[in-house]
Structure 1
Amino acid sequence: MHKFTRIALAAGPVLGLAVGLAIALPAPSGWSMGSSSDSSSTSPAVTADYVTAKKLVDEGNYRDAIPILDQLVAKNPADADALNELGFSHRKLGHQQKALTYYLKALSTEPNHLGANEYLGELYLEMKDLPHAEERLAVLEKACTNCEQYTELKEKIADYKAKQQS
């Protein structure tokens, strides 16, 4: 399941104001799936383009989100959040190798990126690569034992193992 803490997307008439604030302020730690426990995040301040792309991803409009995310990464190749969303979008479209590339790029920039670690673990499960999925879980366990990303990947690994035994 792809989650996103909606800053102001559900705020109705104040959307323009809230997006303007999101552009001016850096994303706080723990803001979205892409946030890392590492306070030295290399991701830029949230932009209107990122908010638009994230909304498209959350709605399942991956094909529409990808060009926007590509532009964000072209402007800032170290944007781990945009790279993670590109990986997620490509994975959901069945492009496993592209997804793998984007997740690995996100993690090369931000090794403790919660979303990229969770989603890469899920991709490894889809690729029937349990040992690598468990490696991602170990990274998440060190970064955030009580976070959603750790819990969800742990559950998916348990489900995967249960299916393998039956």
Structure 2
Amino acid sequence: MRSWIYPLATACLLACSAAQAKDTTPTPSVNERLQSAQKAIQAKDWRRAQTELNAALRDEPRNADIHNLLGYTARKSSPPHLPEAFAHYKTALEINPQHRGAHEYLGEAYLMDKQPAEAQKQLAALEKICGNQSCEEYADLAKAIADYKASNP
């Protein structure tokens, strides 16, 4: 080997070690980010929730719960960002086709977009997944559909 490689490699190792030593602040875990996002959602602080969720998504891009909550925050933002909400709900369902929350919230987004037939499809999916007697998501979406129909005869 050439004699210049060893000093160069040593210098690189020292520089990398020094760079790592400077940043000793632990990064929050995905679970900590989700908890923080949930608190922001409860406070209706959609921007902070999205920031936390996007950070969690960088660590776990195939997490259906994160996509579901990103869809929720996009839908609840003022003004609502329905295309973004639809994209996240659909991604959540690609990852986990049985995700009850994503089915419920996607159905509610369809109602906001004046597509009750599509919301009804989500209700049917929920009925297959969890039934209609003890499933909170089914009951919530069924009520939202009934309210929509009453307001839009």
When normalised by structure 2's length, the TM-score is 0.76
| Deviation string, structure 1 residues 7-48 (Cα, Å, up to 9, x no partner) | xxxxxxxxxxxxxxxx8xxxxxxxxxxxxxxxxxxxxxx711
Give the aligned partner of residue 58 of structure 2.
Answer: 74
Identity of aligned residues (%): 40
Specify which of 111, 119, 131 is matched with residue 117 of structure 2. Answer: 131
Distance apart, 1:63 and its partner CA? 0.5
**Cα displacement (A) at 1:162:** 1.6
Show the 5 A alignment for 1:3-82: 47-82=31-66
Indicate the RMSD between aligned Cα atoms, in angstroms.
1.2
TM-score (norm 1): 0.70
Distance 1:73 1:139 in 2: 26
Q: Give the paired residue count.
A: 121
Greater CA radius of gyration, 1 or 2? Answer: 2
Aligned to 1:120: 106
Asked if 1:105 corresponds to 2:91, the answer is yes
Does 1:151 pair with 2:148?
no
Match of 1:27 in 2: none
Structure 2 CA distance, aligned partners of 1:107 and 1:78?
11
RCO higher in 1 or 2 (8 Å CA, sep ≥ 6)?
Answer: 1
**TM-aligned CA deviation for residue 143 of structure 1:** 1.1
Runs of 5+ unmatched residues, structure 2: 1-28
Per-residue Cα deviation, 1:109-161 (whole angstroms, up to 9, x for no partner): 01111111100000000000011100100111111122111001001111111
Q: Secondary structure at the match of 1:47?
A: helix
Runs of 4+ aligned structure 1 residues displaced above 6 Å come to none
